[in-house]
Amino acid sequence: MREQTKGIAPLIAAVQIEDIRLVEASVKTRIRSPQDVGEVDLVVDGSASIKEHNKDGSFVVLATIDAKLVPRRSHEDSAISIRAAFELQYSLPPKFSVSRRNLDTFAQINGVFIAWPYWREFVESMTARMHLPPLILPVFRVRETRKTTPKKASPARHKPTNAVADST
């Protein structure tokens, strides 16, 4: 991870976020209460990539994050499934030069991390709107990646003890 961030340090120092917006969402539940499902595993995954890179140096990152509560006893369909995609619009100083490779690395490391607080609020709000106890997601952790094969930056798998109420 240090090697990757070293290469994009000038980009990290120069970039400014201009806008973040929800561009796609999907929310689904098959339960009416946490008692309907029992113990679950919370599975969260995210990815991000460059959506567009403009001539003026601005660029857009698309960060997509999924969360599912999967019953432990039967591993059947998810009790709750929530997915959202956010566009993150960034600007750079005039005449700042950056390679596509460095933009891609920046998106993979930074995209989900920046979208995470918006994602957490979205998940909490949506589960409350389902008349379920609000699902509070854990803190985002960036996974260590190998030098040779970049992987998605995403939170690890979490195992709460109760369906929705104890999901932190």
10 Å Cβ neighbour count for 82?
24
Chain mean pLDDT for the chain: 83
Task: State how far the Cα of 32 lies from the Cα of 22, in Å rounded to an integer.
Answer: 26
Task: State how far the Cα of 99 lies from the Cα of 125, in Å rounded to an integer.
Answer: 38
Task: State how far the Cα of 167 lies from the Cα of 127, in Å rounded to an integer.
Answer: 12
Express each pLDDT in 109-138 by its tens digit: 999 999 999 999 999 999 999 999 888 888
pTM of the model: 0.80
Asked if 84 and 22 count as a contact pair (C-beta separation under 8 A), the reply is yes
Express each pLDDT in 45-68 by its tens digit: 999 999 999 988 899 999 999 999
Express each pLDDT in 1-57 by its tens digit: 566 677 899 999 999 999 999 999 999 999 988 888 888 889 999 999 999 999 888
User: Which domains, and CATH codes, for the chain?
Assistant: 2-129 (3.10.420.10)
Asked if 79 and 108 count as a contact pair (C-beta separation under 8 A), the reply is no
